[in-house]
Amino acid sequence: MVSFMDVINRALTGPYYSEKDYNLKVFVPKLREIVQKYEIKSNPKAVIPSDDDLADRVFKAGVELYANVGTYCVDTQRIIQFTEAEIREALATAPSAPIFGEGKEAKALVARKPESNIPPWCFLGACGAAVSSEEIFESIMQGYGEISFADSITAPSLATLNGTPVQAGSPLEILACIKSVVLTRDGLRKAGRPGLPVMNSIATAVSDAGKIAGSQFGLRPSDGWLIGPMAEMKVNYERLNEIAYVTSLGGHIVVDASPMLGGYCGGPEGAAVTNVAYHIQAILVFRGSCHASFPIHLRTSCSTDRGTLWIISVSTQGIARNSHFPLLDISIMGAGPETEMEFYENAACVIGAVVSGSAGVESPGGAKNAVIDHLSPMISKWTAEVAHAAIGMKRTKANEIVNVLLLKYENNLDKPPEGKRYQDCYNIKTLEPSKEYRTLYVEAKKELTDYGLKFKY
């Protein structure tokens, strides 16, 4: 496969374009052309499509797109290009079962196929959402670690350090990155699962310096460093610096990418094809051990509307059918903790991902991951239970369920309920949810059971 040094050299010598010209003269027209060539068309009623030929066309379109547009390096204003033969080689030699974690928590993350009976990987936690204090951070990490279905953890970011707001690029960022790693390990030790892998290291980091510095205070090669591109199909030196560090360390890189519905990708068809291109970029440029995907709607900043759910499902199916490189799907919800809507939104996204062949699912923070302290272990527990309940389900049945769930919340996506802070719906000392929150959980579980989900307990 193409080496990382080759990637760097191509970032220095590839075809020159201004960023505007790359967007409007390379990426957008080629994407439109390829979507038409492969006759890709979404169906708002078939949110979870069952058309294997459509899924395969989306994958082929993504391969052709990436061979034509490559990755744009914003620092050099050059395109990092790859031939289709190099892309095929990368897909053939990509990781297929990377092992994360240590001791009894060590486990392989394996690719799945649509409607697979293989249990999905449960990547549970905060999805990088911000918390207000060190006390909240450690408490919630312990809560995530105590979820029995958790295969790995995603930590929050730390908004303050000793009560002082963390400023990106300052010494406070470095110190906060170090502190967040220490608190993460402390929380998992308290949960009795010190070997559990942390696969979004380090959410507090804004700069490459913060991520690299914090790594020295408790991260292990068996954890995962979350490194993602810039939209759409771009990279900068900071990301490349992080990749250089982690690959030299021998660590895992979890490549997160978010094609934007309504931006340069255009409609859901273009975003689905772009998601496949991101999958290939994750192997070639980002040197990933796995790919984490979270398509987002430009207007709502969520991944739970009809169009985005279709993007997740059809691109996941295309990838699952044609690539052994593990794909994780992430649901970004509009609603916050202790609301009915968070259960419905999350279930729609998780069911669609699991039956479409995602290797695993990542639980979200709440309120679009944008409101401090609006996250909880409850929605992570729910994510894992829904994921396991959807194992082996047919796509046609999943489509029926998801369409019912959409009717319950889609009209509220423009103004979703913000919900409550973690400390207002949980006892942060005992890690017990409020009575009201538990009641909502029990009612949601009963309702989804009536729709046909088979919960394990």
Query: Predicted confidence band at 331 (pLDDT cuts at 50, 70, 90)?
Result: confident
Is pLDDT at 443 greater than 90 in this prediction?
yes
What is the average pLDDT value for the chain, to the nearest integer? 97
| Across 262-282, average pLDDT | 98
Distance CA 419, CA 304 (A): 17
Is pLDDT at 119 greater than 90 in this prediction?
yes
Helix (H) or strand (E) holding 319: helix 306-322
* Within-domain flag for 108: yes
CA 315, chain centre distance (Å)? 14
pLDDT digit string, tens, across residues 203-214: 999 999 999 999
Is pLDDT at 337 greater than 90 in this prediction?
yes
pLDDT digit string, tens, across residues 80-117: 999 999 999 999 999 999 999 999 999 999 999 999 99
Q: Are 148 and 122 in contact (CB under 8 A)?
A: no
DSSP 73: E
Q: Are 228 and 253 in contact (CB under 8 A)?
A: no
Phi first, then psi: give them for residue 304, nearest 5 degrees: -120, 10
| Across 361-384, average pLDDT | 93
5 contacts: CB under 8 Å, gap ≥ 6: none
Tracing tokens 């809507």 back to the chain, one arrives at 341
Q: Are 159 and 131 in contact (CB under 8 A)?
A: yes
Distance CA 449, CA 321 (A): 29
Phi first, then psi: give them for residue 433, nearest 5 degrees: -75, 160
* Within-domain flag for 368: yes
* Within-domain flag for 370: yes
Q: Are 202 and 177 in contact (CB under 8 A)?
A: yes
* pLDDT at residue 457 in the model: 85
* Within-domain flag for 315: yes
* Within-domain flag for 313: yes
* Within-domain flag for 317: yes
Q: Are 260 and 298 in contact (CB under 8 A)?
A: yes
* Within-domain flag for 437: yes
Residue type, 186: D
Burial of 434 (0-12, 13-18, 19+ CB in 10 A): middle
82 contacts: CB under 8 Å, gap ≥ 6: 2, 66, 67, 70, 90, 284
* Cα dihedral across residues 40, 41, 42, 43: positive or negative: negative
HEC-encoded secondary structure of 173-229? HHHHHHHHHHHHHHHHHHCCCCCCCECCECCCCCCHHHHHHHHCCCCCCCCEEEECC
Q: Are 335 and 375 in contact (CB under 8 A)?
A: no
Give the strand pairing for 432-433 and 426-427.
antiparallel
- And the tokens for 138? 């450690």
Distance CA 341, CA 414 (A): 13
Roughly how many angstroms between the first and final C-alpha of the chain, as a whole number?
45
Distance CA 93, CA 70 (A): 19
Q: Are 278 and 250 in contact (CB under 8 A)?
A: no
Looking up residue 423, the CATH number of its domain turns out to be 3.20.20.460
Give the strand pairing for 130-131 and 157-158.
parallel
* pLDDT at residue 122 in the model: 98
Distance CA 240, CA 226 (A): 13
* Within-domain flag for 277: yes
pTM of the shown model: 0.97
- Biggest CA pair distance of the chain: 61
CA triple 166-171-172, angle to 5 deg: 20
* pLDDT at residue 201 in the model: 78
Q: For residue 252, give the 3-state DSSP assignment.
A: strand
* pLDDT at residue 62 in the model: 98
Distance CA 240, CA 104 (A): 33
Domain residues for 286? 99-129+252-451
Helix residue ranges per DSSP H, 49-166: 52-69, 84-93, 134-145
Phi first, then psi: give them for residue 329, nearest 5 degrees: -115, 140
How many domains in the chain?
1
pLDDT digit string, tens, across residues 133-165: 999 999 999 999 999 999 999 999 999 999 999
